[in-house]
């Protein structure tokens, strides 16, 4: 299973804006809090928060996005994680 460090490296490799990185880290913390509050998978929610702006900000192609999805595929819920992000793609 990918680790939080894997997700962090993916974010820092593709998002160069420091303020946006801080925002993504803040969302990670918020989702970790809510996962704990609602007895959900903290790591899954945290990584989802950390990577939530990755596609729209890094100008990745659909092919690159699919490569990232395959990297995260070992996470049991990964098949449905990217779907909320897909409408944002142009």
Q: Bigger pLDDT: 58 or 16?
A: 16
**81 within 8 A of 40, measured Cβ to Cβ:** no
Phi, psi of 80 (to 5 degrees): -105, -5
φ, ψ at 18 (rounded to 5°): -60, -40
CB 1 within 8 A of CB 74: yes
19-74 pLDDT, tens per residue? 999 999 999 999 999 999 999 889 988 988 998 888 766 555 554 656 666 665 55
**Can you give the residue ranges of every domain in the chain?**
4-88
- pTM attached to this predicted model: 0.66
């Amino acid at each position: 299973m990918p680790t939080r460090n894997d997700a962090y490296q993916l974010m820092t490799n593709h998002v160069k804006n420091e303020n946006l990185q801080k925002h993504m880290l803040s969302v990670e913390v918020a989702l970790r809090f809510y996962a704990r509050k609602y007895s959900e998978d903290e790591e899954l929610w945290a990584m989802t928060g950390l990577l939530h702006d990755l596609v729209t900000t890094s100008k990745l192609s659909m092919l690159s996005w699919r490569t990232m999805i395959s990297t995260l595929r070992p996470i049991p819920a990964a098949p449905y994680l990217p779907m909320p992000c897909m409408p944002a793609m142009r």
